[in-house]
Structure 1
Amino acid sequence: MSRLFESKLFFLLTFLKVAVGQENRYLVSFDWSTIEPSTNLSWVDCYSGFQCARYQVPLNYSNPDDCQTAAIAVIKLNATIEESSQYGGPIFVNPGGPGASGVDFALQAASTLQSIVGSHFDIIGFDPRGIKNSTPKISVFQAKEESKEERSNWFAREAADLNSTADALPEAWARYQVFGQLAQNRDHDSDGFLDFVTTDNVARDMLGMVEALGEEKLQYYGGSYGTVLGAVFSTMFPDRVGRVVIDGCLDMDSYFRNDLKNQMVDTDKAMQAFFDGCHSAGPEACAFFNSSPSQIEANLEAIYDSVCTQPVPVFSGETYGVITYDALRLVVVGALQSANFPMLAAGLAELSTGNGTAIYQMFAEGLSETVAVTESMIAIKCSDADLLHVDWGSIWLVFIRLLLERGWEFHPNSRFKGPVGGNTSFPLVIGNTADPITSLSASKKTSLSFPGSVLLQQDSVGHTAFSSQSSCTFQHLAAYFNNGTLPEEGTICPTDIPLFPSADDTDASGTANSARSLPLFRRRY
């Protein structure tokens, strides 16, 4: 087994640092404070071609006399139809995290989704309570301009691999005692908001938005952690489910127990796909090619050994930094999620000669995109889950307990605790053959929890179906949202383009027609 995945403790890397929720550097700004929160989704024009609203919700649904409220940032790409009879209704989307911005996701992906399911649907994204443009905002660090530096400094010092040094695990334990105490102290200053950021509250918010739009039932696409939100909604409100797609499922029972040891069971399969695919593609398509898959693996191991012994300095124009063992591991697992194998191969080939520029650029981009999401992820994930009480016989469970739970004080008794499932309107479940973050077995298990649902397997590497391009999957999505047609049991969809595209895999314009032509759905939970 590759050293990259020899320990389940490596899950922290993915869970805390490579989660979805990109700070979208391509978007123009919009001042959300100019919109007055309302309970009827009063839309205003925003960004370019979108409409926005701030939806006012109760902070505490279990206490109707509590006057505290939250404001949910909501964005809509309108359907384009001439006849009202053709209108397909709204489809809500959630990209994962927890902690990712549904507003950013819609800005990036709504037009792509419309092109798949049809322009007669509205596509609606929202920032769940506590996230980015919604208020109040989860902020363990100071709610001031300097908080950005405080947050970045804190998370930049984390060890990605707790086996990397003798001090990594005990230091991480100490850090999360501090983090939990910091959250508790600062939450007291914000009137106890963190007790109300759990997934069941977000499901209630979503139901309120469905009703505010005049709809009876939910239409929804959720990927990664978004599958938890979709499954919880379907369990809590089974008679309000219309069409629900959950793509790249977590093991729901394990999620609410905070027992994540089974989450990455297909990661080695994804890593092996890189080795096998690179060898099959040949040196023209894969820059890290060698004489056999095992030799490619050995070459990667040699790079790990080298940077572990001597980190690589990088200075190229405005790009500068150091490639450490941790940084390289983050880049590799990020590439497995996005299935961006050609870029990873090129970066590794350069690094093997001492040039770390490409790898460092991938590392820096991924780190900057996720730092702002991490504290929200911890807050929601740990608040959703039980506080574990385990013995020291299981280092994995102890690790989760010590790092994330023992320092976290917010576990509201009223939260949804599972299990998910029940008789509802036949969700469509999607799972990849080799998803490095959420296993195919978890998607199968989730499908079995909802009688009448069907699992669509996409024969691809990467996290969720949209890490690759599959016209087969797109056709099934369109059929499901348009008329409720589910795939036949056992359907396996191929992808359109290989993991390592050759010169022949181009479109009419000469552009590489690869899985990376849909880059909008990357970096989730």
Structure 2
Amino acid sequence: MHTWRTHRGTRTAGTLLAATALLISGCSSGSSTSTASSAAEAAAALAPLPRSTPAALTPYYEQEPAWRDCGVPGFQCATLKAPLDYTEPSAGDVRLAVTRKKATGPGKRLGSLLVNPGGPGGSAIGYVQAYAGIGYPAEVRARYDIVGVDPRGVARSEPVECLDGPAMDAYTRTDITPDDTKETGTLVAAYKKFAEGCGADAPKLLRHVSTVEAARDMDIVRAALGDAKLHYVGASYGTFLGATYAGLFPDRVGRLVLDGAMDPSLSARRLNLEQTEGFDTAFTAFAKDCVRHDDCPLGGRDTGPEQVGRNLKAFFDRLDARPIPTGDADGRRLTESQATIGVIAAMYDEGAWQRLREALTAAMKESDGAGLLVLSDSYYERDADGEYSNLMFANAAVNCLDLPPAFDTPDEVTRALPAFEKASPVFGEGLAWASLNCAYWPAKATGGAQRIEAKGAAPIVVVGTTRDPATPYRWAEALSGQLSSGRLLTYEGDGHTAYGRGSACIDSAINTYLLDGTPPTDGKRCS
């Protein structure tokens, strides 16, 4: 969406409905930080795998990619295999799609640089071909082959599918702030239909799309590329994937950059609650900026952020009662849930704030919901033909496997509403109900909260942005503290992730690390 960085990002912030675990929260008080620290101390540490490769996996590690032209100038593509089930390698394979842009020179080639844009569910191939492979700093592209691998279940790697376009349209319109038992039942039915669709499409694969399995796949890809160490840049959920790799294979860690970091030691409920705070932090920054402009529809120059939030919430409530026209060819009207997603989408990058002001002005003053619907559609990756990418499907599939559900019943959500609404008066109610969808998932969670220490790994750079909406800054603090070789790099600013977003200080520190192997000083701060 903006420059060559990821356009979205958390492992739980895919959407209010499909990405329960993704929607988490942000920066908060010292007491919350203490709670997060306690959670990290309580969580077990991820154990590394044996250094030797099991004989049953040797054929996978000895693959040689058959590179071919993939129709995008300058890029090659290949397909590799990984075992569907690492505990039973003979039970079948998963096909992994890979793309690369070879190092351009000058200078000695440093190896492959794997890139993951986040999600879960974001296509690394699409990201590399559209952004990283042509937009990463020239000096980095000169020395590395830029490589993207779609994780299992994502995009070109045997994608999980759940709903067709019309059914997904209905899903995105579902009311995520139910007012009574009937509306609650409608929301639960939507979650169940979504889950049943995923289960019917890929019943076996759905049990094997965890982050641990995707990290093990990356080691097979590393070996197939001929690299002794894994060099990697991961954004948002990509930090969890990269950290998991480091925890499993600490001796194979090369130069790892984890930008917009997640804290793997937190439960799904805690993740969602803290991300809710994060979106509120970002919204407060937006509110302060909005009222400085004459075209802000949420208040004047003397309006405080709290009142701006109340004004927006009142607008959402009006949409809940009466959706407004959008001029959409399919006759879609803008609902409260779609408007909420549209606003949340703009929180990822301060560069989208003007567009959000314009969309809100049209919706609030002219009853024209087109601008907010476009923002919502872009977040869900809905194209002009009404078809959706598999982002939301893969997002839920990975999240619901990685952690036990945040909530098991609607009653549990109801009891948690005060905490979520305190975390964000504007978004809290919707994000609390969004945390229910894994309760109905057809595959039982195989993972759990855990610390990742990666003892013995080379220095790992963990990047955090102080007002990041999707991955709160304290998650970067937590992850860098857990990693035995973590180095915290801080960007004091707005938006999601930091590399390639305009800070020369951040970019220089990361480029130096990737090219020379010299990590920034732990605790370095940039603005």
Give your verdict on TM over 0.5: yes
Rounded to whole Å, the distance in 1 between the matches of 2:290 and 2:94 is 49
Cα distance, 1:386 vs structure 2:
3.0
Moved more, 442-451 or 288-297: 288-297
- The change in CA–CA distance for 1:233 and 1:209 in structure 2 (over 3 A counts) is same
From 72, 75, 85, the equivalent of 2:99 is 75
Cα distance, 1:244 vs structure 2:
0.8
Cα distance, 1:120 vs structure 2:
1.4
Rounded to whole Å, the distance in 2 between the matches of 1:163 and 1:283 is 35
Matched, 1:207 2:219: yes
Rounded to whole Å, the distance in 1 between the matches of 2:321 and 2:104 is 58
The residue aligned with 1:420 is 452
After the TM superposition, which residues 162-241 of structure 1 pair with which residues of structure 2 at under 5 Å, given as runs?
Answer: 162-163=177-178, 167-188=182-203, 192-241=204-253
Gaps in structure 1 of 5+ consecutive residues: 1-9, 21-37, 142-147, 495-525
From 88, 102, 115, the equivalent of 2:124 is 102
Rounded to whole Å, the distance in 1 between the matches of 2:180 and 2:403 is 29
From 375, 378, 402, the equivalent of 1:362 is 375
The residue aligned with 2:302 is 292
Moved more, 168-177 or 54-63: 168-177
Cα distance, 1:151 vs structure 2:
4.9
Cα distance, 1:257 vs structure 2:
7.8
The residue aligned with 1:483 is 516
Question: 8 Å contact 1:248–1:431 — kept in the other structure?
Answer: yes
Cα distance, 1:352 vs structure 2:
2.9
Moved more, 232-241 or 290-299: 290-299
The residue aligned with 1:518 is none
Letter in 1 for 2:490: Q
From 493, 504, 515, the equivalent of 1:460 is 493
- The change in CA–CA distance for 1:396 and 1:241 in structure 2 (over 3 A counts) is farther
Matched, 1:113 2:136: yes
Question: 8 Å contact 2:264–2:449 — kept in the other structure?
Answer: no
The residue aligned with 1:242 is 254
Rounded to whole Å, the distance in 2 between the matches of 1:119 and 1:210 is 19
Matched, 1:52 2:77: yes
- The change in CA–CA distance for 1:376 and 1:278 in structure 2 (over 3 A counts) is same
Rounded to whole Å, the distance in 2 between the matches of 1:332 and 1:259 is 20
After the TM superposition, which residues 28-67 of structure 1 pair with which residues of structure 2 at under 5 Å, given as runs?
Answer: 39-46=63-70, 47-66=72-91
Rounded to whole Å, the distance in 2 between the matches of 1:95 and 1:416 is 23
Cα distance, 1:379 vs structure 2:
1.2
Specify the SS of the correspondent of 2:348: helix
Specify the SS of the correspondent of 2:90: coil
Rounded to whole Å, the distance in 2 between the matches of 1:462 and 1:107 is 23
Cα distance, 1:97 vs structure 2:
1.3
TM-score, reference length from structure 1? 0.77
Moved more, 458-467 or 431-440: 458-467
Rounded to whole Å, the distance in 2 between the matches of 1:365 and 1:254 is 29
The residue aligned with 1:125 is 148
Cα distance, 1:288 vs structure 2:
6.5
Question: 8 Å contact 1:14–1:333 — kept in the other structure?
Answer: no
Letter in 2 for 1:63: E
Question: 8 Å contact 2:17–2:191 — kept in the other structure?
Answer: no
Question: 8 Å contact 2:173–2:337 — kept in the other structure?
Answer: no
The residue aligned with 1:410 is 444
Matched, 1:332 2:338: no
Cα distance, 1:471 vs structure 2:
1.6
Specify the SS of the correspondent of 1:315: coil
The residue aligned with 1:156 is 172
Gaps in structure 2 of 5+ consecutive residues: 1-11, 23-61, 383-387, 418-431
Rounded to whole Å, the distance in 2 between the matches of 1:410 and 1:291 is 51
Specify the SS of the correspondent of 2:277: coil
- The change in CA–CA distance for 1:469 and 1:287 in structure 2 (over 3 A counts) is farther
- The change in CA–CA distance for 1:194 and 1:298 in structure 2 (over 3 A counts) is closer
Rounded to whole Å, the distance in 2 between the matches of 1:421 and 1:16 is 30
Matched, 1:380 2:398: yes
CA deviations on 1:262-287 (whole Å, 9 max, x unpaired) are: 2332222111111212334x438x68
Rounded to whole Å, the distance in 2 between the matches of 1:257 and 1:297 is 24
Specify the SS of the correspondent of 2:291: helix
Matched, 1:347 2:359: yes
Specify the SS of the correspondent of 1:425: coil
Rounded to whole Å, the distance in 1 between the matches of 2:435 and 2:346 is 28
Question: 8 Å contact 1:151–1:371 — kept in the other structure?
Answer: no
CA deviations on 1:168-208 (whole Å, 9 max, x unpaired) are: 433222333344444445545xxx22222111111111111
The residue aligned with 1:279 is 291
From 6, 15, 18, the equivalent of 1:16 is 18
- The change in CA–CA distance for 1:320 and 1:193 in structure 2 (over 3 A counts) is closer
TM-score, reference length from structure 2? 0.76
Rounded to whole Å, the distance in 2 between the matches of 1:338 and 1:15 is 21
The residue aligned with 1:508 is none
Cα distance, 1:291 vs structure 2:
2.0
The residue aligned with 2:40 is none
Rounded to whole Å, the distance in 1 between the matches of 2:320 and 2:217 is 47
Question: 8 Å contact 2:468–2:494 — kept in the other structure?
Answer: yes
Rounded to whole Å, the distance in 2 between the matches of 1:195 and 1:216 is 30
Matched, 1:134 2:150: no
Specify the SS of the correspondent of 1:57: strand
Question: 8 Å contact 2:84–2:94 — kept in the other structure?
Answer: yes
Letter in 2 for 1:441: R
The residue aligned with 1:448 is 481
Rounded to whole Å, the distance in 2 between the matches of 1:183 and 1:124 is 29
Letter in 2 for 1:121: Y
- The change in CA–CA distance for 1:195 and 1:304 in structure 2 (over 3 A counts) is closer
- The change in CA–CA distance for 1:382 and 1:236 in structure 2 (over 3 A counts) is same
CA deviations on 1:419-458 (whole Å, 9 max, x unpaired) are: 3223221211111111111111111100001123121111
CA deviations on 1:243-271 (whole Å, 9 max, x unpaired) are: 11111122212257885322332222111
Cα distance, 1:360 vs structure 2:
2.9
Rounded to whole Å, the distance in 2 between the matches of 1:187 and 1:13 is 21
Bigger relative CO (Cα 8 Å, ≥ 6 apart): 2
Rounded to whole Å, the distance in 2 between the matches of 1:362 and 1:260 is 22
The residue aligned with 2:421 is none
Moved more, 304-313 or 456-465: 304-313
CA deviations on 1:6-54 (whole Å, 9 max, x unpaired) are: xxxx97844726999xxxxxxxxxxxxxxxxx92112112211111111
